[in-house]
Chain A
Amino acid sequence: MELVLLFISVAIINNLVLTKFLGICPFIGVSRKLDMAFGMGCAVTFVITISGALTWIINNMVLRPIGMDYLKYIAFIMVIASMVQLVEMYLRKFFPPLYESFGIFLALITTNCAILGTCLLIDMNNYSFIKALVASFGGGVGFTLVICMMGGIRENLEWADVPDALKGAGITLITAGIMTLAFMGFTGIGSH
């Protein structure tokens, strides 16, 4: 039960994008089409889950025992960068069209602050390994959920009569703001 609550908490109530404002860059950059947004969400979920687990292991098995907590930023970034490389190879091999459509944003998952943020949050809250897994996976699912919603809304916005001054990034940011307000309605449901 606790794990389910934790999952819902990180995925929806404390959503990375809308309440912590992490990972805004792909949220705006790759949400133009729904299928691309979903692909990005899946890639980030994969990287975030693996990185969450690996960084937990490195942090608790290696860095803490030898008292080198301060190395965690470098170590975490190394893990994330390696995992992004792995995803990139995998996508190029099996989903070339997706790989093409991501372009630079795939490599930029490395600098996606949602991932490093999740790893650091896990470290800050001293989660157990299972909880770390659930939290990182939940974070990824939350990211996917929100970026897909954004993708769907933006696809429909293509047909809307947007005022000239707000076309493009402007209406996207306004949409993001309204989505944030909606997600704020969940505040207080969970205790995590």
Chain B
Amino acid sequence: MLEMIIAELDLGAILTSGATLLLTGLFFVIILTIANAKLKVERDPMVEAIEAVLPGANCGGCGLAGCSAYAEGVVKDHGLIGRCGPGGDALVHAMAEIMGIEATASAPNRAVVHCSAHSDDMINSTQYLGIAGCAERTIIPDNMGCSYGCLGGGDCQAVCEFDAIHVIEGLAVVDYNKCVGCGACVKACPRNIISLTAIVEDPILVMACSSHDKPKEVRGYCKVGCIGCTLCVKMGGDSFFMDNGLAKIDYEKYPDEESRQKATGKCPRGLMVYVGSDDVAVRKANDSREPPKPVKAKTE
């Protein structure tokens, strides 16, 4: 069979057609090579140098289309220099050196989960047995008592490229040794309880609650959520402020240790927590007990 096919093959035609295409191809190769030499775009060597030191993760955390776009953006606008989460401080200095400017270290942005209720802290009137994902669960009414808090479905865990966020006992917990602040989890969270916050200190005090509900309702569904008592504002000074029944911290003027202690000491609830890189578990700020053992993120 094969021999028959080979016998019927017109080798001449094959060679001619091949040679024809090869020659025409060659013709265009020559044209394009000349054009490439004549029309070569001089790229800014600075942009290329910066692109070379960028991590190349193309995570988009800087808000631009990718590392290449970020390199061009930084050269045009030096203010963008601190935007690269994965690169961190070392990258800022490397880029500053390339561009010949002084870089001052700025606090890196990291994901902060504004909920501190583990499964034990939630008081649910119903038991949810539906699809596990947060996006699915959040559209179902009364899927859990609190309509603000972490659903624990792990949508953030699924989108995290850096294995830096894990659902531990029903609450998303960020591993600050791994988090680079790309913001993927911020976008993934259907309840919008994750934010990128400048980590001015490590560990840093955060208000881990997002509920604007009235005290009675919050007490009804959560053991740790903010009841809007304003004690932290009264005790801690103007670094703390109330936003529609929810206490918040102004990180532009991060409170000093004394006012933090005053505020956390008075807080009757458990939403003021310290998060940081030395302790994966969320630690209650007004917890006089020993901090819980760091829960090691499960590695597969």
Contact = CB atoms under 8 A, between A and B. Distances in A.
Given A89-B36, A89-B39, A90-B39, A82 B31 contact: yes
B233 to A, nearest CB: 44
B17 A82 contact: no
Interface string A65-103: 010100100110011001001100110110000000000
By Cβ-Cβ distance, the 7 closest A-B pairs, closest first, are: A82-B28, A89-B39, A93-B39, A92-B41, A68-B17, A86-B35, A93-B41
Contact of B20 (A71, A86, A90): A71
Contacts of A82: 28, 31-32
B16 A66 contact: yes
A92 B35 CA distance: 12
A66 B20 CA distance: 9
Contacts of B20: 62-63, 66, 68, 71, 75
Nearest to A94: B39
A62 B24 contact: yes
A68 B20 CA distance: 9
Given A78-B25, A78-B28, A89-B36, A71 B41 contact: no
Interface of B: 13, 16-17, 20-21, 24-25, 28, 31-32, 35-36, 39-41
A104 to B, nearest CB: 12
Interface of A: 58, 62-63, 66, 68, 71, 74-75, 78-79, 82, 85-86, 89-90, 92-93
Main secondary structure on A side of the interface with B: helix
A86 B16 contact: no
Contacts, number: 42
A71 B39 CA distance: 31
Main secondary structure on B side of the interface with A: helix
Contact of A71 (B21, B31, B40): B21
A75 B32 CA distance: 16
B21 A74 contact: yes
Given A82-B32, A93-B41, 14 more contacts: A62-B24, A66-B20, A68-B13, A68-B20, A71-B17, A74-B21, A78-B24, A78-B28, A79-B24, A86-B31, A86-B32, A89-B36, A90-B39, A92-B41
A68 B16 CA distance: 9
A82 B25 CA distance: 9
A71 B18 CA distance: 10
A79 B41 contact: no
A85 B32 contact: yes
Contacts of A85: 32, 35
Contacts of B17: 68, 71
Contact of A79 (B13, B28, B39): B28
B126 to A, nearest CB: 34
A63 B41 CA distance: 36
A124 to B, nearest CB: 21
Contacts of A93: 39-41
